[in-house]
Chain A
Amino acid sequence: MKSKYKQRFFWGMILSLIWQLTAVSGIFSEMIFPGLDQILIALFESLKDGTLIKQIGFSLSVIAQGLFLATITALILSLTAYFSSYAAGLIDTLTALAHPLPGIALMPLILIWFGSGKTAILIVIIHSVLWPLVLNLSTGFNSIPDIYTLIAKNYRLNKLEFMYKILIPASLPYFISGLKIAWARSWRALISAEMLFGAINSLGGLGWYIFQKRVFFDLPGVFAGIIVIILIGIAVEDFIFEKLEAKTVKKWGMLK
């Protein structure tokens, strides 16, 4: 564990060094290859005047809402599919249709149906997250050992009790890995959607921050935004998901 961070730190420093050397060498124009110093200054200034913090807050709150709504919907859909074979057919068809479709491809439709702004971004996030979650949850539900259904019969659990006492905890490893995919996909979808659906001078999230820096030709600002995106990505994967796994499936011996 420790050595992973050590290695990352080491290679991070090496890559930064190469970056800086390249920037200083003047092989590329400063316009297309700003130095780390400029990038860090841009980052620091955006942090200082509060704009970046607000945009980060906006992005994180939108993604939290999107993930929450998508998770609830995915749970409802996959549970319905688990208990009813009719619904299973329908949901399987929907998933097969919608899963391969990138959210960005739906942008024109979303614009016309939901307008632009936060609703549109939420729709894109939910779309990009819902289907992989449904797939994972359904696989998880269908792969719980038969013995659990017998136990549920034997102890006369009703459907609701079976659901929260057995079905959901027993498929938690699938649920968590689904959430991981969901997070990765929604984070990407969020940034690209924000780049398209922002409003000038208002809160539009990190993607919008980058887009604004881009149209005003502020490359160090663009890189500052990218650095924040990377850091948040790492933080969520390494801290939130690792903690969640350590507290659940790893502790329960369901995941080696």
Chain B
Amino acid sequence: MKKYLTIIIVLLLTLLLVSGCENNEAGPQQKITIAEQYGLAYAPVQLIKELKFLEEANPNLKVEWKQLSNTTSIRESMLAGEVDIAFMAIPPFLIARDKGMEWKIISGLSESPLGLMTNRGDINSLADFKTDAKIALPQPGSIQHILLSMAAEREFGEVDRFDEQLLTMSHPDAMNALLAGREVSAHFASPPYLFLESREEGIKKILSGRKAFGGDFTFIIGVSTEEFYEQQPKNYAYFLDALEKAIEFIEGQPEEAAEILADNYSLSQTEMLEYLNWPGMIYSSEVKGLDKFIDFMTAEAYLEANNYQYSELVFEKNLTGRETASEEEAVQNEE
């Protein structure tokens, strides 16, 4: 028994040591880590990277770009403290916020055309989907999943009407499957996949994101952790400026932006420009549709609470153009 006790003590001490180390690491740092994802909706972020807006603003700042393939892993990296700023759709942000993750919105990034594309001639509307027709989308709880549920709710009064026939696939895999005409009958696509698919013969759009949502909404938002916001306010501010500049650049000088970004997306400059100017492809820091997402997701039990204050979801310093209540005011309000 004595032997076991010794082992336990050693284990506990090791544990303490390890946790001690963790705490020591959080000193002042001059580094910002940004998660990037592939997709036209993220174009301003690519511009920040290409034009080195951040390095320009603060030469001492070490900027690290992390390539992550999906929203879930971005979220987990942020939780692990490896990523400070990331971009994603509103629903995955809300799901984690609802579970207690300490992060908030810093800005809108883009609105974008989204579309449910099908390769089947006999399907012309949602009502034509039989249970054997599989629909590919990124993952449960993704914006595509929520939009499809919204449409199903509006048209048939059944939120989960299509849930049994949804397949989780990354956009490139889903596009391949759609074009191959096997296994998958439809794909809820975003650009550039949406544009590529709409060029193909025999593939048509039967539902747009806007129609599913019932209005305009922001596709991609920028988010950051509260830890980063509080511990590195200056770098946070630099990033905000850089983002603003990038969005203005894309909207104001699309030709130049297309020239800079074409290589990044492996597209020709003309194609790049065509995509940036595609109707419905809007880069803006405004956040649209947040309340409607919250209401729907709460009603369908994706979220537990729906009485979020705006200040609980969006940082006080933000680009959305709306004022959030200052800290003191928020406290006063609660009292």
Contacts and interface: CB of A to CB of B under 8 A. Distances in A.
Are any A and B Cβ atoms less than 8 Å apart in their complex?
yes
B205 interface: no
Given A200-B168, A212-B140, A111 B177 contact: yes
Interface string A192-227: 000011111110000000011011111000000000
Contact of A31 (B95, B100, B180): B100
A18 B11 contact: yes
A217 B180 contact: no
B177 A201 contact: no
Contact of A201 (B134, B160, B180): B160
A215 B22 contact: no
Contacts of A16: none
Interface in B8-37: 8, 11-12, 15, 19, 22-23
A228 to B, nearest CB: 20
A196 B75 CA distance: 18
B166 interface: yes
Given A111-B176, A216-B140, A27 B182 contact: no
B96 interface: yes
Given A18-B12, A115-B184, A215-B139, A199 B176 contact: no
A19 to B, nearest CB: 10
Contacts of A1: none
Most buried by A among B12, B79, B140, B141: B140
Interface residues of A, number: 32
Given A22-B15, A202-B164, A115 B99 contact: no
Nearest to A116: B167
A31 B79 CA distance: 8
B232 interface: no
Contacts, number: 91
Contact of A115 (B4, B12, B141, B177): B177
A237 interface: no
Contact of A217 (B11, B19, B101): B101
Contacts of A201: 140, 160, 163-164, 166
**B-side interface mostly:** helix
Given A200-B145, A200-B163, A218-B99, A112 B176 contact: yes
Interface in A1-22: 10, 14, 18, 21-22
Most buried by B among A112, A199, A202, A217: A217
B269 interface: no
A111 B164 contact: no
23 contacts: A14-B8, A21-B12, A22-B19, A111-B173, A112-B182, A115-B184, A116-B177, A117-B167, A198-B167, A199-B164, A199-B166, A199-B168, A200-B140, A200-B168, A202-B164, A214-B72, A215-B72, A215-B92, A215-B95, A215-B140, A216-B302, A217-B96, A217-B99
9 tightest Cβ-Cβ pairs between the two chains A and B? A115-B183, A201-B163, A200-B166, A217-B99, A27-B19, A200-B140, A217-B96, A202-B164, A215-B141
Interface of A: 10, 14, 18, 21-22, 25, 27-32, 108, 111-112, 115-117, 196-202, 211-212, 214-218
